[in-house]
A and B are shown apart, each in its own frame.
Chain A
């Protein structure tokens, strides 16, 4: 699930923001409102490589990444809420490859304060975890760069977000969180602190989780993330994004129940800490109102890739890129109107695909 939200956030950095295109169902004088919004996207990945563990199949030609979402959001006094339904292709690793419908967001929020200088709100329900909003901060590209493996959207989340002057912060607690594949990871806490200015923004994030206590391979985890942007000129921005993560992964499992043949139950044991890290620098150049170019340089290293690590893959299964991978992206965005974008992003180096092409319309 978090892949998609990552993309949404990425887009929100490119586009004006979803609010701008929303259809207003009603809006009262006191500010209470209800708005309908959504998006339609077509496109996909060219030359995808299964080995990188990002896609559900090994298809070098094309993997569809069709996506649609429709949502309503509203506000009643200080209370705000949102329901969003996605129709998406499960094209990620271990996904089904089918188009599926999923409720992506379902939460109620309460604004404690909402002034130009200060904003404080809490949200409860199925929503982005706090760090999810900024995990890709500093990356101007679409989809094919380093991804910080934070918790993404989670049900049963309590989130606080606040803003004071040029500073923003957020923190969330998710009860019984799940991985993207639905495995238990325990409770998750994450958060960020950011400073935003006209010339540069910087966001520091962190996440930790309690682990599944033997229910899945996922044990405890601690993650730190850093994102930054600098606006060099009106048309050129450069960014930086990096993370480092210590994640406990079980090395051993024992089958304990096969009463449901489709869902065998294991007890996971012998958790060992694996360190994953990655970083990128990216840049965006706005050529005209409608045309812009993006580029990035990425480095990523998962301990599991490292044959020298006691917990890495065995040498006979070593990945083609070794213990770390380096790749670059170059993209072109064409925005004929503020709510439409055509994007093509090419990859070079040790990347999971050759290119990504997409068209999206927001409403």
Chain B
């Protein structure tokens, strides 16, 4: 060996004057020892001395850290290696005795304190390379192999080449060229002697002449392999290499066995597979392992037996009768196999059975990464949406959801803002959207199984043609407002605005809590723009809001900022354009509540004591506010949850797991007069306690033992989430309080209750007679809600409200849903109507602008990588997490009840008096409608027009009267035909002409006496009371 160096030396002498070259320099030793003892030895194989120029560096790690000296200069620069000699570069903090032991020339790298990331701090999974600029000259280790500790606690010495020749420089690491030594081996450092050449022994072929087992035989037709724990030799084509859900490769028989009952593919668990294997045929041996239901092989070694093979065509997933309708049984037959999602999975059944998106692309809290989830046949409905909570039906629905689920993963973790297998998504997200209930076809991938769920690891690229939008985007809700002649529609909606907070961005301070909304002004402006687009798209006359910041009603309140921004888009003041979408007639006003009773509506007022609150907007052109009531909702004051030693159990954050004290937001109930009629309508806006909260009842039956800390979730056996008993108490209180308000009622809002859950059964109808129970220790303010002992109460009464959206969707054969949680959808946002409104209900719909869409479309900038700008569009989609519901009610012009006057709003100096022509006799075009008025008001300036009917059978004439002042009038309308009065058409009505509600809300809408028992008796009533009245009321 020494001979070789000698030969080189001689050679250098013989070629005296020859120029030393970088091509003669190699890395000859690598030490990653104890502590900071790290050294690299370079050897000059040439015949001339070599001095390093500034562009030749020593680098390490995937960050290409150049190693500097203490002066933060390239540690090699200016260093000289004599011909045939070495240069040792050592970590600046190497132990002194180790440094002393290094022979020959040595140079210290800078310490971390001196050179930071340019200190010599490779850690065992980093490559170390001699670089000429950005070109590798010689290297040990593999670039980017982070986590693979090939060189940790080891010394490597360079071997001589075959025939004891000098080794060539390596631009890629080959372990065969190195002698591996144990930790802290320092021999040879500074000595240019290289390690002896060892011929590379070619390992025998893994499969050799062993008998091969087909993958089909391993998988078998049972759920578990009959060959479990048997060692097999398998050859197949690599169809995929994936990190998720488990790191490994997928192997498939090159020739399928033709047996539909057996999978031709199998998962091989390994961390060594690389993408270049895909399409190759490999042979390996492993025990057959049953890993929690997944049949797999486990090995890091294989022989590539054919590089010319290719991935077989994907097989269509097909349900067969033997699956007995179980989609899991279907997928089990394809476990580990490359499959395709066809347009018809079950050919034996009529129609196309396909895969549906059941969770939009976004964060999956189970796997902690972005993904999609599909479901067979239909999106997964929350079990309690269509089945009474706790019923067998609900359990069956839950089981079916589990059975139909297919998680969609990419082989590598998706980069922020991207769907790896759908590149067009990031290019133009606004056009390439994926919505819940989309049908997905011709997506290919391998079937994996982990933690009880099947996963499709996608292997092909898809585009928008692979997705069919069964419920496509719509700019406005598909809400019918078609009425009979002589009637008009009033539209009412609910919208959860997902923490619309303006206090950090110039709004009034919030005295009830911290910001939960946008984290920057730029994001807030985006949020506002999207919410405004949603309100405009929803286009209702009365809109209930949830999750708006509770920072009062001052000039800088969140609700004022929202309404002002909405109204900016309604600018056309021309009366003739009143029906146009940009007309000022569409402007909203918010309902203010003077909570502190100072008769000033300002930032000091609020509704309830939470950081967020409910709110209400309305169009003064359509309705006029009569009164409002803020209804405090129940509080729970139960004992804290303790363990067996009576120590309060803490959650993982150190807070009480369940303190027993629970609160919820107040309901805002506003009574309106419907303009053009004498009818009143009360709209109550609600936001009930959330399912993700915690209440005393949730922890009953949990055995804490002596545990003082508890990080598990509360059990949820009936799928209602947490606090359902508390919501039942709330529903009872809401029902009772609304009962005190006479007339038609609409209960809207985020009830945090799916359609067949307890609280909704209380408000609507408990058709199955389910036993419903309230939470314990509920209070209204300081008063116990039901009894002083706080005992839970069985609720046997239902309040009879009608779930309008469910009613209409059922008629239309559609699914109702407004919210997506994990991969299930259901309705949390309801519009319940009192039975008195049933005949008025024209239509009721959910508007799927939010729950159906990916969270990537929301206003936030974070977690979107380089695609923030592309993903944000100033439209309504994903303006919130909840979908809105909207309903339409029909009213007849001039219709009244209980002798109430018709409420007519003076606009542009005139009122339109609806002459609803009575009688069954047909009117004729050319008939003349006349009007006369009587009043205590001055009538002298009033202009009373006559109006000719324009068509036969016309039943309504709007008579526009100018010059009317606010006040009470009696109007009589007549019809004259050919100069003759037609008495059958004469009608009269009481009118209450009023100014339109100001778009600046009044301090406090008047709260008229509600007639609840404060009195209204005359003398005779009083006298009769003396005789009979004593028995007039019996309290429950």
Contacts and interface: CB of A to CB of B under 8 A. Distances in A.
Interface string B991-1018: 0000000000000101111101111111
Nearest to B789: A308
Given A206-B1026, A255-B597, A269-B1009, A219 B784 contact: no
A315 B784 contact: yes
B1014 A209 contact: no
Contacts of B324: none
A224 interface: yes
B1029 A222 contact: yes
A270 B740 contact: yes
A10 B1018 CA distance: 33
B1002 to A, nearest CB: 11
A187 B1017 CA distance: 9
Given A189-B1023, A208-B1022, A213 B1015 contact: yes
Contact of A219 (B740, B781, B1015, B1032): B1015
9 contacts: A189-B1023, A210-B1016, A211-B1013, A219-B1015, A220-B1013, A248-B1015, A258-B598, A271-B1014, A307-B784
A208 B782 contact: no
A191 B1022 CA distance: 12
A314 B1032 CA distance: 27
A316 B597 CA distance: 25
B260 to A, nearest CB: 68
B636 to A, nearest CB: 15
B1013 A271 contact: yes
Contacts of B1016: 210-211, 213
Nearest to A207: B1026
Given A189-B1022, A211-B1016, A219-B1015, 19 more contacts: A186-B1017, A189-B1023, A206-B1026, A208-B1029, A209-B1022, A210-B1017, A213-B1015, A214-B1008, A220-B1013, A220-B1025, A246-B1030, A254-B597, A254-B1004, A255-B597, A269-B1010, A271-B1013, A273-B1013, A312-B783, A314-B781
A214 to B, nearest CB: 3
A269 B782 contact: no
A317 interface: yes
B782 A316 contact: yes
A312 B784 CA distance: 10
A273 B1013 CA distance: 8
B580 interface: no
A272 B1013 contact: yes
A250 interface: yes
Nearest to B740: A270
B597 A315 contact: no
A222 B1031 CA distance: 10
Contacts of B788: 307-308, 315
B1024 to A, nearest CB: 9
B783 A210 contact: no
B1010 A255 contact: no
A254 B1014 contact: no
A210 B740 contact: no
B1021 interface: yes
Contacts of B1022: 187, 189, 208-210
A220 B599 CA distance: 29
Q: B interface, by DSSP: helix, strand, loop or mixed?
A: loop
A92 interface: no
B783 A310 contact: yes
Contacts of B1023: 189
Given A187-B1019, A267-B1007, A315-B784, A214 B598 contact: no
A317 B788 CA distance: 13
A271 B1012 contact: yes
Contacts of B597: 254-255
A258 B599 contact: yes
Interface in B588-618: 594, 597-599
A304 to B, nearest CB: 12
B1028 to A, nearest CB: 10
B576 interface: no
A356 interface: no
Nearest to A248: B1013
- Of B1013, B1021, B1026, B1029, chain A has the most CB atoms within 10 Å of the CB of B1013
B1035 interface: yes
Interface in B318-366: none
Nearest to A303: B1035
A248 B781 CA distance: 21
Interface string A168-199: 00000100000000000011010100000000
A268 interface: yes
A75 interface: no
Contact of B1033 (A173, A246, A310, A317): A246
Interface in A268-287: 268-273, 275
A247 to B, nearest CB: 10
A212 interface: yes
A337 interface: no
B965 to A, nearest CB: 24
Contact of A189 (B787, B1019, B1033): B1019
Contacts of B787: 308
Contact of B782 (A206, A210, A268, A314): A314
Contacts of B1004: 254-256
B1010 A270 contact: yes
Contacts of A220: 1013-1015, 1017, 1025
The list of the 10 closest CB pairs from A to B, nearest first, reads A211-B1015, A214-B1009, A314-B782, A271-B1013, A254-B1007, A248-B1013, A219-B1014, A255-B597, A269-B1010, A210-B1017
B599 A255 contact: yes
A270 B1010 CA distance: 7
A248 B1014 contact: yes
B560 to A, nearest CB: 22
Given A187-B1019, A210-B1021, A268 B1009 contact: yes
- Of A189, A220, A250, A314, chain B has the most CB atoms within 10 Å of the CB of A220
Contacts of A208: 1022, 1025-1026, 1029
Interface string B249-271: 00000000000000000000000
B784 A210 contact: no
A208 B1029 CA distance: 9
Contacts of B1014: 211-214, 218-220, 248, 250, 268-269, 271
Contacts of A222: 1025-1026, 1029-1030, 1032
A186 B1013 CA distance: 12
Interface string B975-1004: 000000000000000000000000000001
Contacts of B1009: 213-214, 267-269
B765 to A, nearest CB: 25
Contact of A270 (B594, B598, B1008, B1012): B1012
Contacts of A272: 1012-1013
A272 B1013 CA distance: 7
Contacts of A310: 783
Given A208-B1026, A208-B1029, A269 B1012 contact: yes
Contact of A224 (B1018, B1021, B1030): B1030
B111 to A, nearest CB: 67
A122 to B, nearest CB: 16
Interface string B159-184: 00000000000000000000000000
Contacts of A211: 1013-1017
B697 to A, nearest CB: 21
A248 B779 CA distance: 23
A271 to B, nearest CB: 4
A248 B1008 CA distance: 17
Nearest to B737: A270
A224 B781 CA distance: 33
A273 B1036 CA distance: 11
A317 B1012 contact: no
A124 to B, nearest CB: 16
Interface in B803-855: none
Contact of A212 (B781, B784, B1015): B1015
